[in-house]
Amino acid sequence: DICDEQGNVRIRLKGFSSRVADKEAELLEQTGTLMLEPVRREQDVVEMAAEHDYAEHLAMLCEQEVSRESIESCLDKVRCLVLPSIGNSVTERFQHCALRAFEEIRKVLDNKPNGKVLIQIVILSHGEGQLFAGLSGLLKSARLENPNLIGQLIEVEAGESPEAISKKLQECGHRPIDDRICYKEGKRLVAGWSEMQVAPQETVLAWKTGGVYLVTSDTGGLGLILAREIARKAENAVIVLTGRSPLGKDRQEMLKELKASGIRIIYKQADVTDRKAVAVLIQSILEQYGNLNGVIHSVGVIRDNLIIKKNRDEFFKVMVPKVTGLVNLDEATREVPLDLFVMFSSTAAVFGNPVQADYATANVFIDAYAKYRNDLVEANRCYGRTISINWPLWQEGGIRVDPETEKMMWQNMGMIPMRAKTGFRALYQGLAAGK
């Protein structure tokens, strides 16, 4: 289907399919790398499409100073939920809202909606409130699992009246093609992506000679590959690899090989979701090596399942390592003069992913945290250039797919799992770009 900007179908091709006919190996060798950065484009209200007729309309407001009744009195046929602030830390508050939103969306899916259902989540656009943008990963994934669901994440400024919020909900409902909207200083901004112009060569020296780097990575697959890269670029660098579980035999062998080649690498078992354990880990690194130059948070857990089949415990266990682990690492290093703080996110955060709503949610939180932490750096409240990268699948380490899925990715989308050298080049270009 080919649609116009309002989402109306203009051209429909039935029975259409495509594939690479021949010279596949040659085309694979010519595959390049496309890098994009998030942008927000202003869109005036006058450009709105006509009103849409929804079978159901659910609005969820996160930590807003308004009542459910005040919103429902302003809008027809809307069911409103105000999700209060529960918990002392931002991770507890975010995870509570995410679990509530997940359960409400699961209820909608369980009812097997026949018509279009509009689900809108309202968050604050600044401070810790902006971290609740992670809920957009849940909305995007839900829509991929059921096209009848239309999800929108709407960011508003603090102190908005019920009437003002209701007007914004109505405006956005008229334009379902927009899935993330921010109202700021009288402007309506819509999230999108823009291609980055990057130099073909590596343009930044990320690692210091003799530097000390902490890499979080469960099972150690991608972490060990990263350790090898750091050691290749920085003489006498120390890489501290950490994960929740003991290293398996294959990872132990890889660690021995790296040490035998002269790389200074150690493995410390620690659960990054445990705040005290992270504090002890950071302190031990500082005492042993006298410094810590960078943190690379690449841990990730998946529990693939459709939302209607996924339970609350599964959802929570996928979120915690990325969300709580990230915040624990940041808070434990607030006084450490870091050079960089790198977060490994995923394209699941950009597009959503069926059966991975929890994983997508956690990764969008990471993306929002990169901006939040850079604001703290500018305010001299912590240190280190902070960047989040939405990686696709890596050929080595990380989450892998079977050969048949890999072949389908290439035939349907022209994508291949990313090679390590390509990934590291993209990392350096991303750091150099200052995005």
* Three-state secondary-structure class, residue 16: coil
pLDDT averaged over every residue in the chain: 90
pLDDT at 311: 95
Radius of gyration of the chain (CA): 23
pLDDT at 413: 74
pLDDT at 249: 83
Residue 192: name the closest of 204, 200, 182 by CA: 182
pLDDT at 78: 95
pLDDT at 16: 83
Range from 50-59, 166-175, 328-337 carrying the lowest mean pLDDT: 50-59
Q: Which amino acid is at 118?
A: L
Show the CA angle centred on residue 242, arms to residues 240 and 245, nearest 5°.
150
- 47 to 44, 188, 398: CA distances (angstroms): 6, 11, 43
Mean pLDDT of 84-99: 92
Residues 342, 296 contacting (CB under 8 angstroms): yes
Question: C-alpha 92: how far from its chain's center?
Answer: 18
pLDDT at 398: 61
Neighbours of 330 (CB within 10 A): 22
* Three-state secondary-structure class, residue 166: helix
pLDDT at 335 over 90: yes
pTM: 0.90
Show the CA angle centred on residue 386, arms to residues 242 and 301, nearest 5°.
40
Please give the residue that has the higher pLDDT: either 104 or 416.
Answer: 104
Rounded distance between C-alpha atoms, residue 70 and residue 49, angstroms: 26
Rounded distance between C-alpha atoms, residue 121 and residue 138, angstroms: 11
Please give the residue that has the higher pLDDT: either 193 or 435.
Answer: 193
Range from 18-22, 63-67, 182-186, 281-285 carrying the lowest mean pLDDT: 18-22
| Residue 219, φ and ψ in degrees, nearest 5 | 75, -20
pLDDT at 59 over 80: yes
Please give the residue that has the higher pLDDT: either 337 or 247.
Answer: 337
Which residue, chain included where needed, has tokens 């003489």? 235
pLDDT at 201 over 70: no
By DSSP bridging, strand 385-391 and strand 340-346 are parallel
Retrieve residue 205's tokens: 């020296």
Residue 343 pLDDT class (50, 70, 90 cuts): very high
Range from 46-50, 157-161, 341-345, 363-367 carrying the lowest mean pLDDT: 46-50
| Residue 33, φ and ψ in degrees, nearest 5 | -120, 130
- 221 to 232, 255, 366, 372, 373: CA distances (angstroms): 17, 11, 21, 29, 27
pLDDT at 435: 86
Please give the residue that has the higher pLDDT: either 335 or 34.
Answer: 335
Mean pLDDT of 297-309: 92
pLDDT at 408 over 90: no
Q: Which region, left, alpha or beta, applies to residue 428 given φ > 0 means left and ψ of -120 to 50 means alpha?
A: alpha
Residues 122, 154 contacting (CB under 8 angstroms): yes
pLDDT at 410: 78
* Three-state secondary-structure class, residue 61: strand
